């Protein structure tokens, strides 16, 4: 019986299980056996797997996270790990592997393709920063969670006449801050792509207060930095993909705003709340479409490709192109958001 593997790597996001379910359902229909590689690339290094049957994927569509686990393991950062990956791929008798992940996981997939493994990818991340696809699954759920949080913060901000700073995720790209900020009617949105000008932020808030508003909402992406500053880190230690742990810009910004405006300010950090829980209908549908596309590519033996959304169509793009650079925010959309600042 033909066999394929599937793995999920990097930070989890809502919608991963819909891709797994779609691949398993379609693959079994086509006469394949599906092996889940546990905890991303770590599972392929250690040959840690689980058989995925129709029963295993039953009822997982509304479930957040990933039923096969994930990790930030990079085989290219561990002596002998790439050889282990190739060895275990062979040992498991895989015809192909479907890798579901963001820039890091898909970056490894692209390299392994060059080394001769048959891999196709599906793009996930709440950050929405993968190139060659209009959107990644997980993003829609994250912006809905962040928008609801902003709505809730609005009412308490108004009651107390306060500034509310909301820190959202977004390492190198401010998609979550931008779209949740627009949807939630934020008064200032700060993103990694545009350095923060503190004087300008405080002036916007003062102007808003001068026209009779006694409260404001400021949305800031975790990766945003002050002009002439660096990113605010929780931890300097690098992970296996060279990333530091971000977080903390919200509190620094909140202190500065209170000091410079005199307005009482509170800070909320949404953190992993944005990554947990049940996916929206949009993410379930997109995940399902990506899973079906990935399996279609396996059936056609069209390896080295990634499922992508282009307009309303799901297409296949070269993995290499998708991981060559990050997709930062559309500045036209940022200009629209700016109309509502202050
Ligand atoms: O998956 C992307 C992301 O959510 C980033 O926005 C964030 O910086 C990072 O993951 C957090 O990762 P971890 O789960 O390792 O704390």
pLDDT of residue 219: 98
Same domain for 151 and 269? yes
Q: Name every residue whose Cβ is closer than 8 Å to that of residue 278 and which is 6 or more positions away in sequence.
A: 14, 62, 63, 64, 141
Asked if 121 and 319 count as a contact pair (C-beta separation under 8 A), the reply is: yes
Separation CA 22–CA 25 (nearest Å): 5
pLDDT of residue 238: 87
Residues 6+ apart with CB under 8 A from 101: 7, 8, 9, 10, 40, 109, 121, 123, 124, 125
Residues 160 and 267 in one domain: yes
Phi, psi of 246 (to 5 degrees): -90, 170
Looking at the structure, do residues 160 and 124 belong to the same domain, yes or no?
Answer: no
The two structure tokens encoding residue 224: 């945003």
Of ligand 1's atoms, which has the minimum distance to the CA of residue 274? 4
Q: Is 333 within a domain?
A: no
Domain check: are 208 and 283 in the same one? no
**Do 124 and 185 fall into the same domain?**
no
- Please report the atom of ligand 1 found closest to the CA of residue 246: 8
Do residues 268 and 283 both lie within one domain? Answer: no
Using most ligand atoms within 8 A of CB, pick from 16, 127, 139 the residue to mutate for ligand 1: 127
Sheet order of strands, 49-52 included: 49-52, 32-37, 2-8, 96-101, 119-123, 305-310, 313-318
| Domain tally, the chain | 2
> Angle formed by the axes of helices 139-160 and 175-183, to 10°?
50
Look at residue 244 in the predicted model and tell me its pLDDT: 86
Residue 332 lies in a domain: no
Same domain, 145 and 272: yes
Q: Please check whether residue 329 lies inside any domain of the structure.
A: no
Same domain, yes or no: 87 and 165: no
> What CATH number corresponds to the domain at position 267?
3.40.50.460
d(CA 75, ligand 1 centre) in Å: 19
Q: How far is the CA of 199 from the centre of ligand 1 (A)?
A: 29
With respect to residue 262, please indicate whether it lies within any of the assigned structural domains. yes
Catalytic residue annotation: 127
Tell me if 167 sits within 8 A of 234, measured CB to CB.
no
Nearest to residue 3, comparing CAs of 103, 88, 125? 88
| Residue 127 CB–ligand 1 contact under 6 Å | yes
Q: Which residues are CB-contacts of 28 (< 8 A; sequence separation ≥ 6)? A: 34, 53, 54
The string of pLDDT tens digits covering residues 33-47 is: 999 999 999 999 999
- CA proximity to 184, closest of 211, 157, 162: 157
Residues 187 and 247 in one domain: yes
The answer, yes or no, to whether any atom of ligand 1 lies below 6 A from the CB of 126, is yes
Mark whether 132 and 22 lie in a shared domain: yes
Q: What is the pTM of this model?
A: 0.96
- 57 falls within a domain: yes
**Site of tokens 């282990």:** 84
- Look at residue 123 and tell me if it is in a domain: yes
Per DSSP, the chain holds a count of helices (H) and strands (E) of 11, 13
Residue 304 sits in the same domain as residue 190: no
Q: Tell me, letter by letter, the H, E, C secondary structure of 124-159.
A: ECCCCCECCCCCCECHHHHHHHHHHHHHHHHHHHHH
Whether residues 6 and 133 fall in one domain: yes
Q: Which token pair is 2?
A: 């033909």
Question: Measured from the CA of 72, which atom of ligand 1 is nearest?
Answer: 15
Would you say residue 114 lies in a domain? yes
Domain region containing 169: 140-276
Does the residue 285 lie in any domain? yes
CA of 31 to the centre of ligand 1 (A): 37
Q: What's the rounded Cα separation, in Å, for the pair 30 and 301? A: 14
- pLDDT tens for the chain, 342 residues long, are 899 999 999 999 999 999 999 999 999 999 999 999 999 999 999 999 999 999 999 999 999 999 999 999 999 999 999 999 999 999 999 999 999 999 999 999 999 999 999 999 999 999 999 999 999 999 999 999 999 999 999 999 999 999 999 999 999 999 999 999 999 999 999 999 999 999 999 999 999 999 999 999 999 999 999 997 777 777 778 899 989 888 899 999 999 999 999 999 999 999 999 999 999 999 999 999 999 999 999 999 999 999 999 999 999 999 999 999 999 999 999 999 999 999
Which of 276, 311, 335 corresponds to the end of one domain? 276
Q: How far, rounded to the nearest angstrom, does the alpha carbon of residue 151 sit from its chain's CA centroid?
A: 22
- CATH number where 13 lies: 3.40.50.450
Quick one: pLDDT at residue 233? 75
For 211, other C-beta atoms within 10 Å of its C-beta total: 7
Q: Which of 276, 298, 330 marks a domain boundary?
A: 276
User: Strand 96-101 to strand 119-123: parallel, antiparallel, or no bridges (unpaired)?
Assistant: parallel
* Pairwise CA distance, residues 218 & 197, whole Å: 13
């Amino acid at each position: 019986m033909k066999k394929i593997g599937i793995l999920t790597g990097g930070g989890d996001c809502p919608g991963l299980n819909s891709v797994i379910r779609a691949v398993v359902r379609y693959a079994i229909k086509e006469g394949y056996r599906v092996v889940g590689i546990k905890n991303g690339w770590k599972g392929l290094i250690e040959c840690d797997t689980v058989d995925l049957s129709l029963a295993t994927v039953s009822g997982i569509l509304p479930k957040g996270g990933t039923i096969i686990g994930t990790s930030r393991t990079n085989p290219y950062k561990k002596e002998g790990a790439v050889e282990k990956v190739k060895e275990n791929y062979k040992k498991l008798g895989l015809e192909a592997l479907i890798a579901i992940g963001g820039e890091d996981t898909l970056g490894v997939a692209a390299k392994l393709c060059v080394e001769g493994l048959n891999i196709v990818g599906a793009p996930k991340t709440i950050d929405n920063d993968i190139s060659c696809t209009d959107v990644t699954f997980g993003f829609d759920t994250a912006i809905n969670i962040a928008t609801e949080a902003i709505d809730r913060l609005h009412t308490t901000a108004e009651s107390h006449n306060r500034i509310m700073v909301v820190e959202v995720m977004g390492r190198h790209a401010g998609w979550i801050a931008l779209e949740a900020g627009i949807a939630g009617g934020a008064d200032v949105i700060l993103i990694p792509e545009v350095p923060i000008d503190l004087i300008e932020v405080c002036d916007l808030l003062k102007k808003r207060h001068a026209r009779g508003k006694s409260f404001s909402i400021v949305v800031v992406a975790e990766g945003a930095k002050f002009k002439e500053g660096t990113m605010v880190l929780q931890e300097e230690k690098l992970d296996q993909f060279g990333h530091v742990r971000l977080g903390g810009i919200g509190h620094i910004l909140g202190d500065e705003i209170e000091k410079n405006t005199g307005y009482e300010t509170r800070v909320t950090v949404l953190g992993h709340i944005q990554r947990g829980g049940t996916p929206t209908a949009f993410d379930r549908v997109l995940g399902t479409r990506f899973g079906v596309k990935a399996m279609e590519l396996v059936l056609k033996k069209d390896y080295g490709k990634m499922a992508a959304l282009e307009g309303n169509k799901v297409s296949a793009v070269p993995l290499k192109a998708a991981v060559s650079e990050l997709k930062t925010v559309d500045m036209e959309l940022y200009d629209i958001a700016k109309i509502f600042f202050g």
